[in-house]
């Protein structure tokens, strides 16, 4: 699991503590806490930067993979069936499919894959074969982080 904003949250809580100390007329404690928070944020910055540079292992991170195909409204059923067949043949089970109708006789079919080991090169090949179909106007895939 990827945790974001922990430093910001801790700084906000510490700032609230400084305010409480100052409001309770504990000026020395408020000043000491302010120095502690500023020092911690300043001295730990290199550690935070080093952690942020560690690459994320996409195979084990929680993400959702969506395959998006754009077609005309009259071809939705055919293209949806072809999309599901191609993904099943590539051993990518589909969790959910949605169809979004857009203005100008366009429709987007969005297939959300079951979270598993996704190989980007394999998924690129599946999307390329979908894009070669006459009824398909556009095909792509993307990753969404699950929060």
Mean pLDDT confidence for 39-57:
78
Check whether 29 has a pLDDT greater than 90: yes
Q: Which pLDDT score is estimated for 2? A: 55
pLDDT digits (tens, 9 = 90+) for 100-129: 998 888 899 999 987 667 788 888 999 999
Between residues 62 and 110, which one has the greater pLDDT?
110
Q: Mark out the alpha helices in the chain (DSSP H runs).
A: 6-23, 27-43, 45-52, 76-89, 120-131
Q: Taking the model in full, what pTM does it have?
A: 0.56
DSSP state for residue 53 in the 8-state scheme: T
Mean pLDDT confidence for 43-61:
70
Check whether 57 has a pLDDT greater than 60: no
Q: What's the rounded Cα separation, in Å, for the pair 92 and 123? A: 9
């Amino acid at each position: 699991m990827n945790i974001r904003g922990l430093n910001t949250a801790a700084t906000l809580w510490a700032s609230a503590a400084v305010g409480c100390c100052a409001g309770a007329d504990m000026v020395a404690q408020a000043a000491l806490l302010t120095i502690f928070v500023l020092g911690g944020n300043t001295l730990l910055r290199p550690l935070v930067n080093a952690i942020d540079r560690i690459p994320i292992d996409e195979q084990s991170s929680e993400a959702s993979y969506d395959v998006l195909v754009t077609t005309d409204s009259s071809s939705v059923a055919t293209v949806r069936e072809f999309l599901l067949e191609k993904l099943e043949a590539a051993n990518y089970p589909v969790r959910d499919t949605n169809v979004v109708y857009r203005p100008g006789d366009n429709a987007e079919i969005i297939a959300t894959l079951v979270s598993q080991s996704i190989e980007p090169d394999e998924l690129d090949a599946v999307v390329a074969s979908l894009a070669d179909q006459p009824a398909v106007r556009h095909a792509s895939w993307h990753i969404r982080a699950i929060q």
